[in-house]
Amino acid sequence: MALSGFLSLRTNKLSKLSLALQVLPMLEYLDLSENIISELDCLDFRDLTRLKSLNLMSNRISVLQGCVFENLMDLEDLNIGENEVIDFGGAFTLPYFGKLKSLNLHNNHLDELQQGAFSSLSSLRDLDLESDRNYAVELNVFEGLDDLESLSVSLIENDRESFAGLPRLKTLSVFFSLKVVLRSFKPFDILLFSSLANLTTLILKTDPLFLVPITADVLSGLKSLERLMTENFFTNPLHPDTFKYTPRLRSLQIIYSNLLQLSPEVFWPLTNLEELDLSNNNLRSLDFLAEAKLSALKFLKLSENEVSIINETIFLSLPALTYLDLSENPLTCECSNSGFVRWATSNNQTQVANGYRYICAFPVSQREERLLDFDVRSCWMDVSFLCFVSSAALVLLVLLSSFIHHFLRFHLIYAYYLFLAFLYDNKRRKGDVGCQYDAFVSYNVCDEAWVYEVLVPELEGQQGWKLCLHHRDFEPGRPIIQNITDAIYSSRKTICVISRHYLQSEWCSREIQMASYRLFDEHRDVLILLFVEDVPAHRLTAYHRMRSVVKRRSYLSWPRAAGHPAVFWQNVRRYSRGQ
């Protein structure tokens, strides 16, 4: 096919160039791709002096001779990719390519690139040297390519000087072969890309078995980087500081990296990130997105991972999201995904790519059914019923607690302390512990003056009793209830000094309750009631335990014995000896 200045002889099984080309001196664009040309002669392009673009891709050329291109002084685009070139023959060191801007040597049979191999290509902007085969790159091989903006290359050594001398490079694609492991086994560090301050796009690919360590500083110096694409490059887990050197990054692709999980801290420096592709990994959870702070993210691709349950709340952290791809994940059609199903079918901002093709992987009974056909209403019914039951149970619990607190509080407290007394009594009996005191005096602090000025001098001073008193004999640091229990069971008697203040004291109530239990349990007269003031019977109504004790037993009244104190103390002594 020929147009004005353009000729295509593509896919014509040509093995040699026709002499007819010599009569086309005005030709500017020549396409000879996908033929079987194996050799180029020095005269093949002699008269094509105006040629600007030459495409020799997908032939069988093995050797280049410098003389082949000596008349192509205006050539700007040369494509020799997908051939069998093993030697350039010094073609790119000769002064014929002063205007060449694009050179494609993709997938040839090179063994090495020697220093100065492209020394005459001072105007070159785009160079493609990527290859499935492995070749060595000598130091300073790109020397002289000061205007180079795009480079694709395959390396078998991650040398610090590999990309030196490329100050204007904006796009770099690097394929690291398995031979990196076999030859150099050096970790990728800050020295590899540190000189590429103007780089905006970086593509990193490796063999699937590539296991060279990736340090956290591998992207150091790439302050202008906006797009990063990696394949089989990063290993799990990703270091949290990996992207702190690339704050301008807008597009990030990490695929085929066997990532099992990600930390949200990894993405915190990427406040401008708009596109994220994490497909073809082994991610099992997307919860890291909830705290990843990706407020600018618009495009999210997570296809071909191991995600089964998606918490729809993570999308609240992605306010700008407009595209989501979760295809080829083993999603479960259960209530755990009901929130995501509801979100995917109702939100008007985010396009869920091929959402109606998502197939259920679990449970087995729903396998091969569509995820978005899952009836989420059944989950709402279950949740509603559960909420009803929970609320009803909570209300009943509150009502029961209020009833117990109002009507049965003292009964429960009394039962609790009686149980403690029962345990203590059993322990004391088994240990056959004797009485340490003649009497434990239970009184309110308001009656302390009468106790210390009247009771104690009489019983301890005159009658020789050994009394147990709160402030004097209780062991500091021990729980108060334990001190009370020990005092009651370590004394032959318990003397309760009753007054209005005593009846209003909670701790005094505990003391008489414990003493009453001992009275009923041992069937012995261990309780002596001393009323230091007259208390009408109706005031005892609220104190059922006290009322029952007073009704069943005799008691002593200090006010009534005011005129005969000797008789009062004689009765105290008599009660203390009673059985």
Average pLDDT of every residue of the chain:
85
Is the domain of 536 the same as that of 447?
A: yes
Cα separation, 118 vs 223, whole angstroms: 28
Residue 209 forms part of a structural domain: no
Among candidates 306, 266, 319, which has minimal Cα distance to 288?
266
Q: Tell me how far the alpha carbon of residue 467 is from its chain's centroid.
A: 65
* Per-residue model confidence as pLDDT tens digits over 515-527: 777 776 666 778 8
Which are the contacts of 174, defined by CB distance < 8 A and separation ≥ 6?
152, 153, 154, 155, 202, 203, 204, 205
Looking at per-residue pLDDT, the higher value among 134 and 179 belongs to: 134
Is the domain of 361 the same as that of 490?
A: no
Is the domain of 352 the same as that of 419?
A: no
Is the domain of 466 the same as that of 349?
A: no
Q: Which of 4-18, 208-222, 336-350, 439-453 has the lowest mean pLDDT?
A: 208-222
What is the pLDDT at residue 563? 75
Of the chain, the percentage scoring pLDDT greater than 70 comes to 85
Confidence at 534, pLDDT banded by 50, 70, 90:
confident
Please say if the pLDDT value at position 165 is more than 60: yes
Is the domain of 453 the same as that of 537?
A: yes
Choosing from 325, 352, 375, the residue where a domain stops is 375
535 CB neighbour count, 10 Å cutoff: 18
Looking at per-residue pLDDT, the higher value among 3 and 159 belongs to: 159
Assign residue 67 a region: left if phi > 0, alpha if psi is -120 to 50, beta otherwise? Answer: alpha
Residue 568 forms part of a structural domain: yes
CATH number of the domain where residue 509 is located? 3.40.50.10140
Residue 538 forms part of a structural domain: yes
Contact 317, 294 (CB under 8 A): yes
Q: Which of 73-87, 254-268, 398-412 has the lowest mean pLDDT?
A: 398-412
Looking at per-residue pLDDT, the higher value among 70 and 546 belongs to: 70
Distances in Å between the alpha carbon of 320 and those of 275, 296, 299, 317?
11, 6, 9, 9
Contact 335, 382 (CB under 8 A): yes
Query: Which contacts qualify for 172-175: CB closer than 8 Å, 24 or more apart?
Result: 172/196, 172/199, 172/201, 172/202, 172/203, 173/130, 173/202, 173/203, 173/205, 174/202, 174/203, 174/204, 174/205, 175/130, 175/131, 175/205, 175/206
Is the domain of 366 the same as that of 418?
A: no
Looking at per-residue pLDDT, the higher value among 578 and 368 belongs to: 368
Is the domain of 415 the same as that of 462?
A: yes
Query: Of the ranges 104-118, 263-277, 355-369, 378-392, which is most confident?
Result: 263-277
Cα separation, 557 vs 552, whole angstroms: 16
Residue 428 forms part of a structural domain: yes
Residue 511 forms part of a structural domain: yes
140 CB neighbour count, 10 Å cutoff: 15
* Per-residue model confidence as pLDDT tens digits over 86-108: 988 888 988 889 999 999 999 99
Count the domains in the chain: 2
Please say if the pLDDT value at position 427 is more than 70: no
- Angle between the 480-489 and 506-522 helix axes, to the nearest 10 degrees? 40
Q: Which of 54-68, 83-97, 421-435, 473-487 has the lowest mean pLDDT?
A: 421-435
Is the domain of 449 the same as that of 364?
A: no
Confidence at 579, pLDDT banded by 50, 70, 90:
very low
Residue 417 forms part of a structural domain: yes
pTM over 0.85: no
Is the domain of 259 the same as that of 352?
A: yes
Is residue 355 helix, strand or coil?
Answer: helix
Is the domain of 297 the same as that of 426?
A: no
- Cis status, amide bond into 565, omega within 30 of 0: no
Is the domain of 276 the same as that of 331?
A: yes
The answer to whether the Cα torsion of 155, 158, 162, 163 is positive or negative is positive
Confidence at 542, pLDDT banded by 50, 70, 90:
very low
Please say if the pLDDT value at position 54 is more than 60: yes
Please say if the pLDDT value at position 400 is more than 60: yes
Contact 256, 233 (CB under 8 A): no
CATH number of the domain where residue 329 is located? 3.80.10.10
- H/E stretch holding 97: none
Is the domain of 333 the same as that of 252?
A: yes
Residue 68 forms part of a structural domain: no
Residue 351 forms part of a structural domain: yes
Choosing from 325, 350, 375, the residue where a domain stops is 375
Choosing from 354, 375, 396, the residue where a domain stops is 375
What is the pLDDT at residue 214? 80
What is the pLDDT at residue 546? 54
**Average pLDDT of span 11-15:** 94
The domain in which residue 311 lies consists of: 234-375
Q: In angstroms, what is the C-alpha Rg of the chain? A: 48
